[in-house]
Amino acid sequence: MSETLLTLVRHGETEWNAVGRIQGHLDIPLSDIGLAQAAAIGRRLGGEAFDAILSSDLERALQTTRPIIRHSEQTIVRDVRLRERHLGVLQGLTGEEAAMHQPQAWQAFKARNPQAALEGGETLGEFSQRVVGLIEELLRTHAGSRLLLVTHGGVLDAVYRHATGMPLNAQRNFLIYNASVNVLRHRGGVWSIESWGDVSHLPQELAMDDT
């Protein structure tokens, strides 16, 4: 019975993360803190053997991935399906700005209705299908492998819900940290979460709140 191990890493902090500005598909680079977090992840995971390393094609994820492969011969497989959810008219706004200038879209986003339209972006259901489709494909094409996926908070949310059976419309009761390491195991059709929200590799001054 094959066993597939997925290590998922959320990208390091950006300046927009720090102020609560919605990024979505906007290509925002890491801040100085985020670069230091990425270096810490590189020290944590750089010596581990992965059969494949995949990353979102957005720069904040790629900047987080590069220190991991710095001293290896592995290459980064860029996959657009690992991008954050496209949040349409909300992208570039803070929560306060979104509530003021895009109240309908903001309410749809906060309600977590999988079918609710988000102008210019993906519904929550569409986004989840994109992420889960990639995960199920990897289980078929890389069965029995150890995979590293460097991605975004929304993707981590979708994968956690898929693995645990948590509904998309349920309020989140688990943590999603920048620069966190999250490990899931798939064996015999059954998921198990080996660890979640692990930031033990970060010095205290680099461990940020759940945002």
Residues marked active site are found at 11, 84
Cα–Cα distance list, 191 to 95, 105, 183 (Å): 34, 33, 11
CA neighbor of 72 nearest in space, from 88, 51, 89, 86: 51
Strands in 3-10's sheet, in edge-to-edge order, are 76-78, 52-55, 146-151, 3-10, 181-187, 190-198
**Residues 6 or more apart in contact with residue 163 via CB below 8 angstroms:** 184, 191, 193
